[in-house]
Structure 1
């Protein structure tokens, strides 16, 4: 699938059961972009060493790879406590510093209020605090990260993207349009493509199986996949990454088989 599409075709750094560098070694001739899924907590961290980063940079140079850097999931930029938001911004800064030498297509970022917090259940006052919090965190983030705002791509999650769009727009961020999430949570994929695709530098693609997302693209509604591919063809002038956000070799292979029908 490398160099077969008018966008950078990619997947995650967890396709084979191994660390990040072996995964990149495995994928280097198969994709154009690799999403680095990074974790950092008191219990567990998969952050590559400086030596690993040198190796990732070398592989990118040798095989025309870019990396989309997914900020850690325990970053809560909409938390009501400013100290927690400052901690989250600091974690993003450390990831940006660690990956500085890599050729990057984007930084992928979530706007969340806390661990297992459902924003859809917020009262009006809680929603206001959340949006004020992500606005405050966004300003801190841009002060501390020496990267263009447009390289930071805020992902749609389980709540309406309209809630955070004013923050994304005001700070000049781009969008990570997770089509798998749209389908999984029942949002109108056509409307999201029409409204946000022009600002989307990253698309996350995955199917739903047995009530769970992040499965092979073969489980995505074919009509939704066709809709995405048609929209990308009409908007082919913008550079973007099409990421299979899946986590197994079998899902990768069957997803690639699904994409074969779009090859000329």
Structure 2
């Protein structure tokens, strides 16, 4: 699958049952981009050491790899408390600094309000405060890292993306268009592709099985995959990343099989 599409074909750093380095070694000759799923907590951390980072950089140089870095899931950029927004921006900044030496395609960021908070249940006033909070934390993040804003790609989640689009647009962020989420939550994939693909540096692709997402692409409706591939053909960008956001070797192999009919 490597260098066989008009985009950078990739998957996550958790395909085989091992740490990040063995996964990248396994995937290096199979994909163009690897999504680094990084996290740290009081109980557990998978953050690579400086020595590991140098190894990741060497593997990238030797195999024409890039990395899309998924910023931590436990950051809440839309939290009502300024202290929590500051903590979240700081946590993102630590990952940005940690991965500085890597060749990166994008940073993937979630806009959330707090652990377990359902943004779909917000009143109009709560929505407005959420959006204001996102603007505040976005300014904090950009002030701290000096990155081009377009390298930060804000992902669609379980609420309508048009709620946060003004923040994405104002700050010059790009989009992570998660097609698996669109299909799972029932959003109109065709409309999202038409509206947001031009700003999407990253696509996340996965299917739904037994009521759960992040399964093999073989579980995504074929018509949805056809729709995405047609849109990518009409809007070519060889630097755009197409990530199989899955987490097992079996799902990776069956997803690759589902993509074979689109090989160049």
Aligned twin of 2:50: 50
SS of the residue 1:106 aligns to: strand
Q: Distance in 2 between matches of 1:142 and 1:55?
A: 28
Equivalence map 1:59-138=2 (5 Å): 59-138=59-138
Aligned twin of 2:253: 253
Q: Distance in 1 between matches of 2:237 and 2:213?
A: 30
Equivalence map 1:153-232=2 (5 Å): 153-232=153-232
Shift of 1:237: 3.9
Query: What is the aligned length?
Result: 264
For each residue in 1:210-244, what CA deviation from the matched residue of structure 2 results, as whole angstroms up to 9, or x when unmatched?
00000000000100000000000000146200000
- Contact 2:105–2:239 at 8 Å: present in 1 too? no
Shift of 1:109: 0.2
Q: Tell which deviates more after alignment, 66-75 or 119-128.
A: 119-128
Aligned twin of 1:240: 240
Q: TM-score under structure 1 normalisation?
A: 0.99
SS of the residue 1:168 aligns to: helix
- Contact 2:7–2:237 at 8 Å: present in 1 too? no
Q: Which runs of 5+ in 2 are unaligned?
A: none
- Contact 2:8–2:242 at 8 Å: present in 1 too? yes
Shift of 1:129: 1.2
For each residue in 1:5-29, what CA deviation from the matched residue of structure 2 results, as whole angstroms up to 9, or x when unmatched?
0100000000001110110000000
Q: Distance in 2 between matches of 1:238 and 1:50?
A: 30
Q: Which runs of 5+ in 1 are unaligned?
A: none
For each residue in 1:118-152, what CA deviation from the matched residue of structure 2 results, as whole angstroms up to 9, or x when unmatched?
10011222111110110000011100012110000
Q: 1:117 to 1:149 in 2, by over 3 A?
A: same
For each residue in 1:53-93, what CA deviation from the matched residue of structure 2 results, as whole angstroms up to 9, or x when unmatched?
00000000000000000000001000000100000000000
Q: Distance in 1 between matches of 2:183 and 2:30?
A: 26
- Contact 2:8–2:238 at 8 Å: present in 1 too? no
For each residue in 1:20-49, what CA deviation from the matched residue of structure 2 results, as whole angstroms up to 9, or x when unmatched?
011000000000000000111112111000
Instruction: Please provide the CA RMSD for this pair.
Output: 0.7
Q: Distance in 2 between matches of 1:93 and 1:237?
A: 28
SS of the residue 1:57 aligns to: helix
Segments ≥4 residues shifted beyond 3 Å = none
Shift of 1:96: 0.3
